[in-house]
Chains A and B, each alone.
Chain A
């Protein structure tokens, strides 16, 4: 019971006390262990403002077990002195006494006794003085009486060295009346129960206060992965802007759709073994839309559609080579080709977010696979100004408002522009995406009408996510080495909620 007999006594004493009580003194007065009083203090504290208790720590000198013995029976040397009769005592006999060994040397150095080695039956001890003052006992008695401060620093440390005294820290409470002080306390209820509700007893019962500083118990739950939470938000943004999702569920792509269809020449460095994963099995695409392939071939090797072409020997074998797609633009090319087959042309807005693969050197921000976000708009008469306008709206939804555009080169867009945003933290402009108008050499062989322009832009999903969640090593975010605690703890993803939070920290 929290409010046991000790607590009751404590409250009564406190009522009578002037100002307050010291828990240690109270324990001494009541002849209780100090711990019992402390227990009572704690249980009273838990009841609210009945008492106030201030923790004090005091240092105090106490006698050790040996010190207590000396306090009772005198120091070893005094005991040795008293055991020597006036006619003396054989040294061997003296040494057998309980205090003999320690006391003998001390009594000798105090010049209380002497040894006569000339006697016939071995050395004999005689008193030198008639009586002695037992200073050690006197000092220990002072300490016992709580008057240790009467001893000098040197005297105390000497006794401590002889292991007769020890310094103890005592934690005591200074107990005073609380704002709701009362000597009559009743047990407080911990929680409301169904019985209390039905009987109405809750009306008369005091309730134990809650500790609102404590943490709650987290609910048992599953968690979504932070990168995919960001993916969900990007999907949402595209859907809000009226963009239709393209199918991207084909990691394996032919070089044709990944490169050739995009007017990316066959000697382009991106098509190198060093940059792209090629497949050994199935090594080649089985079917290609051959009519279209011929138009692509002609455009590369001879030009056409107003283009000079690249004027090289385009090879079908190269186009057949299967790879792991290096960008989702391969899926965009397929979508645009399908769009071109629908007559008459209907404007379209497309997006995709999915994995792409690069056979690159890996580091803290680069993995062999990552997610690409891509947006595409196809319509009559689209301009660079339209592209910038769409980008402004898109990035505004990400919480990025300060944009500027830099001329750039992409093999399949012209004009091309890199998108930069001002990073408040780094105080500089950093790249946040890449964009452009698809080249006519890509669109016209597909069969799209000549006056249809297609604007497109792309960015990675990982980079904004790493920035949002403050992750420096991409392996902590993507892949099996992820820290699940990070997944458990990650907040909601609200891209527009924190101004400028999505701005890139570094350029790839």
Chain B
């Protein structure tokens, strides 16, 4: 969930009133926001770097507000204020207009070289804008928030904003060999080639995260004006030449990317949010983008879409009984201008360009419910009549767990993920013999594979509890995972039961007795006949030679029991003899 940090006093000034922290928290809750933290720059620095560094930092109160991940329109002060003011019916939602310039329209021409890297670009102009320090900061911050969220860390979309008065169109969006790109990047004093820049930014804590997007491409995307001045090398860095400042009056905005839909949304969000500060409020100057196929489009789209939803559908989904008029009013408070039309039960809803999150009637239903107030909805119980059933495997597990404890064994709960070493090397097995599934991106060795046996987890539990009085008698009934090409995903779980006895003597008879008890509980008689069970001498690298038996029940092998091999005991950092039992319980369902 993105967190937006705004100055409290600035926020209250924009809202036209002050709130206590509790009141504002309440308002956020109602609207679906969360007042996450009340802090200041000073407090943040002091927390992260110590009190000394914080000296002299601003102690202006900051509100950190959690915004739902799909509400890109609320990612800065301007957007939040507009959303809340409309919600509280203090203002009407503004109508955003795309206007044609008096002179020539700004053009951005895309060449076909971009196709393989970042094929899409959109653009627009904010004309006669008036920044202040706070507005400017918010403008930069919004771009950063968009980059981190909808733009997926610039991979899908990257935003460039430029001082139009320093440039001269038409602009070209193309792609060139890195060695052929040479410009003075933002906040640098000299020119570098793209290759040099990629090297320099490897050590830049902020930019290094974006390098991978184009690093290995033969061509890098680049935007330049008619004089060859480089505006930006998306998605990495803008040029210094067209850098915007507090005094910039005309802003050229370009968004490039691999996702056309998202690029258009991002552009719409930026221009709708900041056109408030243009001389002609809420108007955005159009720009023309010519695609390699010669087709040309005008941006920003600023599309208003009409949706028709029946009032009774909203009432039925929410569980309320409001008149269509009231529902229209509720929706209007959510920035969705609505009116009752037709037979008096139809509501026509206008989806503004700021609400890209509204993609279905269910999104409209939710907004009606929010405006109605979730906590005002009457709670009712559904009349759904059903008979409960347990999942048979879990039912058997639950029953067995209780009787294992009754038999004197204590339940462990160990991790399903572990290292290759745990399930193979330490048990004297080769990893390929385990049929284990392998994880491709483990952060540490603890998450290399899913366990194929419960034994390592129990032995590790004993190792962590060596100070406890002996004997230690542990069990676990849980799932292991192995590859199985007959399953849709190529792997399956098996429900295993594992028990260990750890003491000064191996206690094979105790583990054997436990097996007899388990079979008694499962109503499996001893002996090979009539689906009974037997144990037969066997061997396995995990067991002491001559002290291992395979368990056959209902005509199939279900597991093994025995005294563990001293090598296994040592590898799990244990010192006492130990016997164990592990069976698959699924044949007993």
A residues neighboring B (CB under 8 Å): 220-225, 227-228, 232, 235, 238-239, 241-254, 267, 269, 273, 277-288, 303, 305-312, 322, 324, 347-349, 355, 357, 359, 367-369, 377, 379, 381-386, 388-390, 392-393, 404-409, 414-417, 429, 437, 439-441, 453, 455, 477-485, 487-488
What's the least CB distance linking A401 to chain B, in Å?
12
Q: Is the CB of B489 within 8 A of A384?
A: no
Given A368-B446, A478-B413, A485-B468, 9 additional A-B pairs, CB 8 A: A249-B393, A279-B438, A286-B487, A359-B443, A368-B447, A385-B379, A415-B369, A482-B464, A484-B410
Known pairs A222-B406, A228-B401, A482-B464; A389 contacts B381 (CB<8 A): yes
Contact A243-B386, Cβ < 8 Å, known A251-B416, A439-B360, A439-B362: yes
B217 at the interface (CB under 8 A from A): no
Shortest beta-carbon distance, B350 to chain A, in Å?
15
CA distance A470 to B361 in the complex (A): 44
Contact A288 B488 (CB under 8 A): yes
| Alpha-carbon distance between A184 and B543 when the two chains are bound, in angstroms | 68
CB contact between A379 and one of B260, B361, B384, B414 (< 8 Å): that residue: B384
Taking the complex as formed, is B228 at the interface, i.e. its CB lies under 8 A from any CB of chain A?
Answer: no
Q: Which residues of A contact B411 (CB under 8 A)?
A: 222-225, 228, 487
Judge whether A386 and B386 touch: CB under 8 Å. Answer: no
**What is the minimal beta-carbon distance from A244 to any residue of chain B, in angstroms?**
4
**How distant is the Cα of A480 from the Cα of B136 in the complex, in angstroms?**
53
The contact string, 1 if C-beta is below 8 Å from chain A, for chain B 368-395, is 0110001101111110111111110110
Task: Report yes or no: A249 in contact with B493, Cβ–Cβ below 8 A.
Answer: yes
Return chain A residues, CB-CB under 8 Å to B1.
Answer: 409
With A384-B318, A385-B318, A389-B382 as contacts: A480 and B259 at CB distance below 8 Å: no
| Given A279-B437, A280-B440, A347-B385, A414:B366 Cβ within 8 A | yes
Question: Inside 8 A of A382's CB, which chain B residues have their CB?
Answer: 382, 384
Q: Is the CB of B489 within 8 A of A246?
A: no
B21 to chain A, nearest CB (A): 12
**Cα of A487 to Cα of B412 in the assembled complex, Å:** 9
B405 touches A224 (CB 8 A): yes
CB of B70 closer than 8 Å to a CB of A: yes
Say whether B407 contacts A222, CB under 8 Å: yes
Name the B residues within 8 Å of A429 (CB-CB): 29
Q: Which positions 140-158 of chain B face chain A at CB distance < 8 Å?
A: 152, 155-156
Closest to B318 in A: A384
Residues of B within 8 A of A (CB): 1, 29-32, 34, 68-71, 152, 155-156, 259-262, 316-320, 359-363, 365-366, 369-370, 374-375, 377-382, 384-391, 393-394, 398, 401-402, 404-417, 437-443, 446-447, 450, 457-458, 460-461, 463-465, 468, 472-473, 475, 479, 481, 483, 485, 487-493, 495
- Cross-chain contact B415 with A369 (CB below 8 angstroms): yes
Smallest Cβ-Cβ distance to A451: which chain B residue? B316
- How distant is A260 from chain B, measured CB to nearest CB, in Å? 14
- Interchain CA distance A377-B380 in the complex, whole Å: 14
B116 CB → nearest A CB, Å: 14
B71 touches A409 (CB 8 A): yes
Q: Which residues of A contact B317 (CB under 8 A)?
A: 383-384, 415, 437, 453
CB-CB under 8 A from A245, the residues of chain B are 388-391, 394
| Closest residue on chain A to residue B381 by CB atoms | A389
Q: Which of B401, B415, B481 has a CB less than 8 Å from the CB of A224?
A: B401
Minimum C-beta distance from A413 to chain B (A): 9
**Among B417, B468, B489: residue with most chain A CB under 10 A:** B489
Give A463 to B480 CA distance when docked, in angstroms. Answer: 24
The interface residues of chain B lying within 8 Å CB-to-CB of A227 are: 413
Per CB-CB distance, the 4 closest pairs between chain A and chain B, nearest first, are A385-B319, A407-B32, A383-B319, A282-B490
B408 touching A407, Cβ below 8 Å: no
Contact, CB under 8 Å: A281 / B483: yes
Q: Is the CB of A269 within 8 A of B365?
A: no
Residue from B360, B472, B487 whose CB has the most chain A CB atoms within 10 Å: B360
CB nearest to A309 among chain B residues: B359
Closest to A391 in B: B379
Q: Is the CB of B404 within 8 A of A222?
A: yes
Distance in angstroms from B383 CB to nearest chain A CB is 8
**Docked complex Cα distance between A443 and B404 (Å):** 42
B439 touches A280 (CB 8 A): yes
B414 shortest CB reach to chain A, Å: 5
Q: How far is the CB of B511 from chain A (nearest CB, A)?
A: 14
Name which of B259, B361, B384, B411 has the most chain A CB atoms within 10 A of its CB: B384
Q: A244 to B388, alpha carbons, bound, how many Å?
A: 4
- Does A440 lie within 8 Å of B360, measured CB to CB? yes
14 intermolecular pairs with C-beta atoms under 8 Å apart: A222-B473, A223-B410, A235-B394, A244-B389, A250-B491, A267-B152, A307-B360, A311-B260, A322-B490, A347-B385, A377-B384, A407-B68, A408-B68, A415-B317
Give min CB distance, B359 to chain A, whole Å.
4
Question: How many Å lie between the Cα of A34 and that of B316 in the bound state?
Answer: 92
Contacts of A483 in B (CB 8 A): 465
Partner of B386, one of A347, A439, A484: A347
Given B156, B362, B465, B489, which contacts A252 in the complex, CB threshold below 8 Å? Answer: B489
Q: How far does the alpha carbon of A308 sit from the alpha carbon of B307 in the complex, in Å? A: 11
Query: Could you tell me the distance between the alpha carbons of A282 and B380 in the complex, rounded to whole angstroms?
Result: 46
Beta-carbon contact of B441 and A273 below 8 Å: yes
